[in-house]
Amino acid sequence: MKKKKIAVFASGGGSGLQAIIDGCKEGKINAVVDMVISNNSKSKALQRARDANIAAFHFSSKTHPCGLDDAILATLAAHEIDIIFLAGYLKKVGENILDAYKGWIFNIHPSLLPKYGGVGMHGVRVHQAVIDAGDANTGATIHRVDTGYDTGEIVSQVTVPVEKGDTAETLSARVLKQEHVLLVETLAAICRIP
């Protein structure tokens, strides 16, 4: 089966991106990360892409004050991208991109959605909310991206127990390890779909 071409969108450190790159290189995912897009010119994700000889693009309202989504869509089309994966991307995806890639845009979120999703719920904020609520378990969710924030169809989840004495940071570190496993397993399954 032909390898799928993945575009990863990331805003920060890119550890999820690295898990996807490694999963592809190790043959666990029948795909190649063909390009990385970030809205943050200083994101480590862009550097990770360059280090792996992957096309890296900075697209933001600064680079494209008009027609940002059209520029992104044109770049995706030029690279013949099959799947878009949001790995810590903190911008909403435009409707024309959602339409062009309907059903083939995925996001990973550091909680068991539908809990602790939505606008502003990312990073340690999510883990602090879990701790503040006294939840016994948390985890990570991969879902299809739709027009809302963290509201699309759930594709896969992994559960992580909240331990006594956890801080947002310790919980975040444990969830992140499981996110990386979930990323590889889920993308492997997605890339088997013709």
**What positions carry a catalytic annotation?**
109
Quote the CA–CA distance of 73 and 77 in Å, as a whole number: 6
How far apart are alpha carbons 39 and 61 in whole angstroms?
A: 8
Please tell me what DSSP assigns to residue 77: H
Tell me the three state secondary structure of residue 143.
strand
